[in-house]
Amino acid sequence: MVLNYIWIAFFGIAFVVAVVKLVFLGDTTVFPAIMNSTFETAKTAFEISLGLTGVLSLWLGIMKIGERGGLVQALSRGLYPVFSKLFPDIPKGHPAMGNIFMNMAANMLGLDNAATPLGLKAMEKLQELNPRKDTATNAMIMFLVLNTSGLVIVPVGIMVYRAQLGAAQPTDVFIPILIATFIATLAGIIATSIYQRINLFNRTLMLTLGGACACVAAIIFGFAQLDRATMDIVGTSVANIMLFSIIVLFIAVGVRKKVNVYDAFIEGAKGGFETAVRIIPYLVAILVGIGVFRAAGVMDWITGGIAWVAAELGAPTDWVGALPTALMKPLSGSGSRGMMVDCMTAFGPDSFTGRLSCLFQGSTDTTFYILAVYFGSVGIRYTRHAVTCGLIADVAGTIAAIAVCYMFFG
């Protein structure tokens, strides 16, 4: 519903602004520019969707090997000591925990299509434990915040879009996104734990969160010691080594478990084409709407106003061009994705602004969409502190993305 209003607003505001430009400013090029943008962005959306087919097939196939080999389930078991502290109300052995683990594993691997049905199943199981069926429980809220904070290890989709738009190194945003999304997740966990009075000083949580923070701090410190050229080389190399290692690990585990890895890959990869075709109308709709909005000059007015305020305060303004992606992300994944693609198209995928839009896209998730879908699926009307904690994670992720982008690419 929110996206419906946003899409209507794109066209309505663009029309009003275009009329003002034509009547009062004598700008006779505005309407031709708007119509040209509709054709160009529709073509771009179709080309991007088809270009996604191969990479989606690859990673869906690799994920299927991991499922057949039991690697995803093993990850779930490994996370249990930590998750049992974050979800103290879920009894040990309850099926909700397994669905939560699978959902988080799929999210961390960047497989949204697999994560959503697992998340809905987890909400269904959590609702079985809920004594007040119209009110969110603590476990539901923690689960939702972990989803909205967008923790991802392999941001496949973002790297695919960068490759499609001609980035020299599509994977160079891998480590910056990892840092930003970790900070968003950590902020979400802390905020939710404070609301729910979860003891964050528990030995297991302290060791896990402390160790994770130490790893991220070590990454930041290490990269801070490098010059720009070396940082680019090391960041790209490490990202590609990690990604290829994940592929090899999934295959090796499948072989060890005597899985026919080729057949498993083919079965999973079949979904790649279906997914790519399914997103065409959504991508066309949102990119055309954004293209009209930008062609009318509205986006320039908004970002120009924010840039003026930042300049008056003596702050850098490079980040303003990517801000629409950050503003759209809590509302709509497809909307923010369209903003990201539009930003990279307008400024270039290897520009600071283009890369920052990718970090905004990867640092958090669609808070309001996730809340609406997950809570709506089980009839929750009273969300308690879910929105507050989710938005805290969003703000933390946005600030972290700006800081990390200046560190790596500024």
As a whole number, mean pLDDT of residues 220-238 equals: 68
What residue has token string 């909205």? 148
Around Cβ 259, how many Cβ atoms within 10 Å? 20
List Cβ neighbours of 256 (8 Å cut-off, separation of 6 or more).
Answer: 69
Classify residue 321 by its DSSP letter: G
pLDDT for 161 beyond 90: no
| CA count, 13 A, side-chain hemisphere, 17 | 20
Please name the amino acid found at residue 178: L
Contact 354, 161 (CB under 8 A): no
CA end-to-end span of the chain: 37
Contact 89, 129 (CB under 8 A): yes
pLDDT for 56 beyond 80: no
pLDDT for 93: 67
DSSP line for 333-359:
HHHHHHHHHHHHHHH-TTSHHHHHHHH
Give pLDDT tens digits for 4-54: 777 898 899 999 999 999 998 888 999 999 999 899 888 877 887 777 777
More confident residue, 354 or 302: 354
pLDDT for 1: 47
Rounded to an integer, what distance in angstroms lies between the CA atom of residue 232 and that of residue 255? 35
Residue boundaries of the structural domains of the chain: 2-409
Helix 138-148 × helix 367-377 angle, to 10°: 140
Nearest CA to 247 among 60, 51, 53? 60
Give pLDDT tens digits for 92-113: 767 777 778 777 777 776 666 5
Contact 223, 408 (CB under 8 A): yes
pLDDT for 64: 81
3-state secondary structure 244-288: HHHHHHHHHHHHHCCCCHHHHHHHHHHHHHHHHHHCHHHHHHHHH
Give pLDDT tens digits for 349-360: 899 999 999 999
pLDDT for 170 beyond 70: yes
pLDDT for 372: 74
Task: Name the most confidently modeled range: 286-300, 311-325, 394-408.
Answer: 394-408
Classify residue 28 by its DSSP letter: T
pLDDT for 113: 56
pLDDT for 396: 93
Rounded to an integer, what distance in angstroms lies between the CA atom of residue 330 and that of residue 364? 8
Tokens of residue 92, six digits: 């040990």
pLDDT for 22: 92
Rounded to an integer, what distance in angstroms lies between the CA atom of residue 254 and that of residue 256? 5
As a whole number, mean pLDDT of residues 234-259 equals: 81
Tokens of residue 260, six digits: 């026919």
More confident residue, 327 or 52: 327
Provide the pLDDT confidence category of residue 368 given band limits of 50, 70 and 90: confident
More confident residue, 309 or 370: 309
Helix 138-148 × helix 112-128 angle, to 10°: 170
pLDDT for 2 beyond 70: no
Rg of the chain in Å (alpha carbons): 22
CA angle at 120 for the pair 205 and 196, rounded to the nearest 5°: 35
